[in-house]
Amino acid sequence: MSLTRVGIVGAGQLGRMLALAGYPLGIKCLFLDRSAQSPGGQVAPILTGELEDPSRLAQLAAQSEVVTFDWENIAGKALEPLEQMTLVRPPRAALQAAQDRLHEKALFSQLKIPVAAHCAIDTKQDLLRAAGRIGLPGVLKTRRLGYDGKGQFIVKSEADIDAAWAAMGDTGLIFEKFQDFSREVSIIGARSASGRMVFYPLTANVHQGGILRYSVAPFASTLLERSARAHLQRILKALNYVGILAVEFFVVSGRLVANEMAPRVHNSGHWTIEGCVTSQFENHLRAICDLPLGSTRAVGQAAMINFLGKMPDREVLLGIDGLAYHDYGKEPRPGRKVGHCTILKKAAKDRNLALTNALKFIQWT
Ligand SMILES: Nc1ncnc2c1ncn2[C@@H]1O[C@H](COP(=O)(O)OP(=O)(O)OP(=O)(O)O)[C@@H](O)[C@H]1O
Ligand SMILES: [Mg+2]
């Protein structure tokens, strides 16, 4: 029997797009988040409370046939009791692996997926030693809770070590070798409880200041796509995963180096709403509700641009042929993801032209 009532921990834009994808399937989403005004709460019912509050989580579980996440940093301890009450998808092991950059890299290595040279850091002495052993430049990151490039410091030379430690100094850090990449790409796939897997085309991602600015897809590289899919497939199987999983890679000397994974729908997959037969949001719901997975075939050449800080002029952007506009209903704030647009064209050349044109009207603040 397939499922209909989905509880979502976190009601950000990812949750909102999940709920919207659920409507045509007859799937009813219920959120848990701090504010009733959060993006998801504007489109589906919401329980208000702290995301890790045991009684609120229990309430969510009691009203849901399956619980899933728009925010993956919920503590294992808060998650465990839910498993006695309802289905939790993706599984706790996947969330726990993704929550800690050190565990995540250990999992990748165990599955023979290349990662940057790295080292756990708990003292300034550790950092000095790691800089010597691994080499500079490198990136000092928090092991937990980093997003959009927050909780990172680039250590260019030994002269930066004091400043890096002053800015970040604490236990629970990781130092990784700076990757001189030619590109960043990501792969997104879904696995059903019965073990069926589907994979979206490879996506090329452009970040600035650690935040995704825009993505272009399908990124036509048969070799890289094959290798990314093989990596993702091994992770999905190893974790007995159910739902959508995304993995970000650096392309270094023509080879993939895994950066991180996200046990949820991913920003670099927003283009699949218009750009694929079945979006990542719909396939996540299909997977966790035991419905057949949908086709991940691209229906054209897509580009997705994030709106950061404030929304751009809607009338101007909608004047661009083939552009879809997404407003998350968030208050403007510098650096905040408030919406995105996707451009869809038949030919890559036309997509590239429209992307260059649209970028002129978008100011990232
Ligand atoms: N070791 C590295 N070498 C080179 N660039 C890096 C490295 N680590 C991170 N970066 C740059 O910073 C970006 C953000 O890093 P990362 O994905 O680790 O952080 P995050 O804050 O978790 O981001 P996300 O929003 O994707 O969750 C990367 O996409 C990349 O552009
Ligand atoms: Mg990232």
- CA–CA separation, 345 vs 322, rounded Å? 6
**Protein residue with its CA nearest to atom 28 in ligand 1:** 210
Tell me, in angstroms, the distance from the centre of ligand 1 to residue 259's CA: 7
Q: What is the pLDDT at residue 149?
A: 84
Q: What is the pLDDT at residue 309?
A: 98
Return the number of other C-beta atoms located less than 10 Å from residue 282's C-beta. 27
Q: What is the pLDDT of residues 282-334, one digit of tens each?
A: 999 999 999 999 999 999 999 999 999 999 999 999 999 999 999 999 999 99
Q: What is the pLDDT at residue 32?
A: 98
Burial grade of 31 (CB within 10 A; 0-12, 13-18, 19 or more): buried
Q: What is the pLDDT at residue 146?
A: 87
Q: What is the pLDDT at residue 171?
A: 81
Dihedral pair phi/psi, residue 310, rounded to 5°: -150, 160
Quick check: helix, strand or coil at residue 195? coil
> What is the average per-residue pLDDT within 339-357?
98
For residues 187 and 225, the answer to whether their CB atoms sit within 8 Å is: yes
Quick check: helix, strand or coil at residue 2? coil
**Ligand 1 pocket test, candidate residues 134, 139, 249, most atoms within 8 A of CB:** 139
Q: What is the pLDDT of residues 185-196, one digit of tens each?
A: 999 999 999 999
Q: What is the pLDDT at residue 226?
A: 98
Which ligand is closest in space to the CA of residue 98? Answer: 1
- Enter the tokens of residue 117: 């040279």
Residue 113 has pLDDT above 90, yes or no: yes
For residues 10 and 44, the answer to whether their CB atoms sit within 8 Å is: no
Cβ neighbours of residue 327 closer than 8 Å, sequence gap 6 or more: 311, 314, 338, 339
Atom of ligand 1 nearest to the CA of 101: 18
Q: What is the pLDDT of residues 197-248, one digit of tens each?
A: 999 999 999 999 999 999 999 999 999 999 999 999 999 999 999 999 999 9
Confidence grade of residue 142 (pLDDT, cut at 50, 70, 90)? very high
Greatest CA span in the chain, whole angstroms? 61
- Enter the tokens of residue 225: 């796509």
Tell me, in angstroms, the distance from the centre of ligand 2 to residue 98's CA: 11
Give one DSSP letter per residue of 258-327, joined into a string: EEEEESS--GGGTTHHHHBSS-HHHHHHHHHTTPPPPP--B-SEEEEEEEESS---HHHHHTSTTEEEEE
Residue 169 has pLDDT above 90, yes or no: no
Q: What is the pLDDT at residue 267?
A: 98
Q: What is the pLDDT at residue 321?
A: 97
- CA–CA separation, 162 vs 341, rounded Å? 41
Tell me, in angstroms, the distance from the centre of ligand 2 to residue 83's CA: 28
List Cβ<8 Å contacts ≥24 apart for 86-89.
86/7, 86/61, 86/62, 87/3, 87/288, 89/193, 89/242, 89/243, 89/287, 89/288
Tabulate helix, strand, coil % of the chain (nearest 5).
Answer: 35, 30, 35
**Ligand 1 pocket test, candidate residues 14, 70, 108, 207, most atoms within 8 A of CB:** 207
Q: What is the pLDDT at residue 338?
A: 98
Q: What is the pLDDT of residues 248-283, one digit of tens each?
A: 999 999 999 999 999 999 999 999 999 999 999 999
Q: Which residues pair with 187 in a beta bridge?
A: 247
Q: What is the pLDDT at residue 243?
A: 99
Which ligand is closest in space to the CA of residue 175? Answer: 1
The mean of the pLDDT values for the chain is: 97
